[in-house]
Structure 1
Amino acid sequence: MIHNDTYIEIYLETKKKICTCPNCNSKVTRVHDYRIQRIKDIPLFFKHTFIILKKRRYRCNACGKKFYEHIEFLPRYHRITNRLAMFVIYELSNEYSMTSVARKTNLSIDTIKRIFDNVSYSSPTNLPKIISIDEFKGNSGGSKYHCAIVDPVNHKILDIIKDRKEHILIDYFRKIKNRDSVTHFICDMWQPYIDLAKTYFKNAVIVIDKFHYIRQVIWAVEAVRKRIQRELSIKLRKYFKRSKKLILKRYGLLDTDSKLALQVMFSYNSELAIAHTLKEKLLSIIDASPSSNEARVLLKDWIKLAQNSGINELKRCANTYIRYFNEICNSFDIPYTNACIEGFNNKIKVIKRIAFGYRNFDRFRNRILHCCNK
């Protein structure tokens, strides 16, 4: 063995054994010659490692065929060991770029890609009873958005669909065998998802994720703040902008000084106070976690207050709630949300960013499933 500052060389020779001729299946013991082969192995002590293998070539006495001995850790025509290939696949299950893995293992990026392309995840033909669906920006395979289907109970990505276009989703879900056994379909406020669920998951209860309909109220309050601060002087405008977190944060979590600062902002315009009050009222309804029947009554009262507030931003929010009223109320009956899928989306963004994007959708899909479903 040679141990240098930059690399390690291990000299290896296997034991002589009886081989079978690949041509006539005769037993062969005669060695024709030897060959020295330099093979890459997993790094040791953070250094590149090479195995200097002395390979035997046998000669069959019956038919004259010459062939190399079979080596378990080295496939035919390969210059890297099996465990190095497995090490590459393991490293790619973490949020590492292919370039960094190539640098670590002393391989080229093309070799890393070829090794990882052997990893394949098939699409499911059956779905669990509760599924979540959401899109994320991908820019691979000619599609701007991809869709992720997640099992929120077991926190597992089931599959990645190439596009969120309706005809692609229809072609995908037509292949699912147990569509009638899906009991809950969780999605955001994108109408094609709801239309798809009504058509292909007839027994499923459609649920709008809490994060998405709460966000509508947050956006409405922010829109009111921005509209009001544009009408103020430059000094007050900066004050309103720097204090926006006071409006968005839960009132019960603010300290005394923050509450006083918030009251100062309300003194300049009553509409901001009304919007903040309605936001807190909606969050208190959600915190109470009533059943869907109780939530219907409470949400109807809240919608009336928003419509009668005289604030256009809240009126638009109320109209959105009316449009998806049944799906929003269904969210109070189950403890599952799209929080799991939003977490996966953040991890997908990391995978995409460290690679500076993916052009090949199949490789991008396999990398997501490989990293997120360890």
Structure 2
Amino acid sequence: MLINHNQNMLCLDEFDILELRENADECDYLFVVSPKIETKICTKCGSCNVVNYGRYTKLVRDININEHYTALKIRGHKHLCKDCGSIFVDRFNTLDLCSKMTNRLRCKIHQLSLTKLFKHIAREYKLSVTTIEKIALAYIREKDSQHIMYSPEVLGIDEAHLNGSIRCVLTDINEHLLFEMLPKRDKQTLINYLDSLPDSNNIKVVTMDMYRPYREAVYECLPDAAIVIDRFHVVKLINDVLSDYRKTLCKQLSAAEKKEINSVQKVLNANRKDLTANQNKKLGYIYSKYPELKMAYNLKEEFREIYECTNRRAAVLKYTKWSRKVKQNFSPYISITETVNRWSLEIFNYFDHPYTNGVTEAINGCIKAIARDGKGYSFEILRGKVLYGQAYKTNAIFSYNKFSPTVHYATGPSNRSSLNMIQNLMDSYKQISGADIDRLKLGLF
């Protein structure tokens, strides 16, 4: 009865359990087992003319059982082929011949390695971090060999500063997921990757910031795609110049006056429509003393409002009037007009293709968190974790959409109309929300 209980604990049908040893101090299990069926066919020539040829013992690690670290001690016979003379041991589906762990433990580490820190997995299974890293790397390379490349309709390009290196991050904007991470962000690295994509003519739009090598690479490889500069990067330009202007102004003022202006630093960066009555009152006081700051803020708001235009023509006209006003009244913003003029085609493409790089920025945040927590990861390991892990999915939520449409009626067919109504409501929700809950890659909807 005890052996049967132990057999049920282990759940490995290839073995008979001879003994279960426990280490009470370390909370460890050691199952001493023997093969139920010995390998009686030569693994080299296929002959059945095989005899036993001594014994062997093999120690392997297994998954934890009842929160105990677990290992197997396999005792079996060596075998001699009398036809070809080769000596071999038993083969098992449970583990590879040269492996020091069961396949199910390796599979478990595969799954965990993409989402958990290696040191935590090592602690959970009483293994070395180096062992976990080797297993994870082999798994990532296996995933790479199975990875199916495609060309998304809307491609996002950005960079992530990770542990002293700058990596190029590409995303599928429509699907809200990481597409690829490249080791460098230079023009040639990006060209090589874009050239490798199948059906690259499927890419209609590319979102990016104002980094010239990105633009040059896209125009060379994807001449028919429209480049769209992320609107938030454009607006950030004027916020940065406004901040610089405020600092320059402060240098000419007394300590008390500096304190006054610095007290509205965040308010100056805020949108006018978001200001409270108290903030407007505070700004009014500052404007009465520093009218040039009022001009800077109003021009900043007028620039931001360009993105409220509903079409390209209106946006270009609004910008033209704004730039004329800047040249006449406020020279600190001249640098903004120069930048916009250099990137005018790509900036105003937004009004024909209203996409932003928000998805890419959010994914970058996740990548940076993984890199920070797992400091010291190689590029290959980090890329594998962020590309194949589940880091960008929302927490699991009960989803009615996962059930099979086949329904068994417990109270007869009279309830069919009610169930059909419920199904119709669920289908309507899918159409309204635009995606199933379980398909969300980021919590951005």
Task: Please classify the TM superposition score into its range, dividing by the shorter chain length.
Answer: 0.7 to 0.9
Please state how far the C-alpha of 1:147 moved relative to its aligned partner.
0.9
Cα separation, 1, equivalents of 2:114 and 2:161:
21
CA shift, 1:300, in A, is 2.0
For residues 296-328 of structure 1, the C-alpha deviation after alignment (integer angstroms, 9 at most, x for no partner) is: 22222222233333241x221122112211211
- For 1:105 and 1:87, locate their aligned partners in 2 and report how far apart those are by CA, in whole Å: 10
Match of 2:423 in 1: none
Equivalent runs, 1:149-188 vs 2, <5 Å: 149-188=170-209
Residue 230 (structure 1) aligns with: 251
Corresponding residue of 2:380: 362
Deviation at residue 272 of structure 1 after TM alignment: 1.7
Report the equivalent of 1:315.
334
Match of 1:292 in 2: 312
Fraction of identical pairs, as percent: 24
Q: TM-score, normalized by length of structure 2?
A: 0.74
Between the aligned partners of 2:151 and 2:221, the Cα distance in structure 1 is 13
CA change 1:335–1:51 in 2 (3 A) is farther
The aligned residue for residue 349 of structure 1 is: 368
Give 1:201-350 correspondences, 5 Å limit.
Answer: 201-286=222-307, 288-312=308-332, 314-350=333-369
Of structures 1 and 2, the one with the larger relative CO (CA 8 A, separation 6+) is 1
The count of corresponding residues between Structure 1 and Structure 2 is 367
Matched ranges for 1:93-132 at <5 A: 93-94=114-115, 96-118=116-138, 119-120=140-141, 121=144, 126-132=150-156
* Structure 2: distance between partners of 1:54 and 1:263: 86
* Unmatched runs of 5 consecutive residues or more in structure 2: 1-19, 394-445
Offset of 1:230 from its aligned partner?
2.5
> Is 207-216 or 49-58 further displaced after alignment?
49-58
Deviation of the 1:264 alpha carbon: 2.4
Residues 153 and 174, structure 2, Cα contact 8 Å, conserved in 1: no
Displacement of 1:49: 2.6
Relative to structure 1, the CA distance from residue 318 to residue 82 in structure 2 (aligned partners, 3 Å threshold; closer, same or farther) is same
Letter in 2 for 1:328: I
Counterpart of 2:412? none
Contact preservation (8 Å) 1:124, 1:158: no
- Measured in 1, the distance between the counterparts of 2:268 and 2:279 equals 10
TM value normalised by structure 1? 0.87
Residue type matched to 1:154 in 2? E
Offset, 1:216 = 0.6
- Deviations 1:119-172, CA, capped at 9 Å, x for gaps: 1226876422321111222468xxx42211211111222222222222333333
Q: Tell me how far apart the structure 2 counterparts of residues 36 and 18 of structure 1 sit (CA, whole Å).
A: 15
Distance 1:64 1:331, change over 3 A: same
CA distance in 2, matches of 1:247, 1:3: 66
| 2:218 is equivalent to residue 194 of structure 1 | no
SS where residue 43 of structure 2 aligns?
coil
Alignment of 1:58-69 (within 5 A): 58-60=79-81, 62-63=83-84, 65-69=86-90
Deviations 1:89-117 (A, max 9, x none): 222222x3322322222221221221112
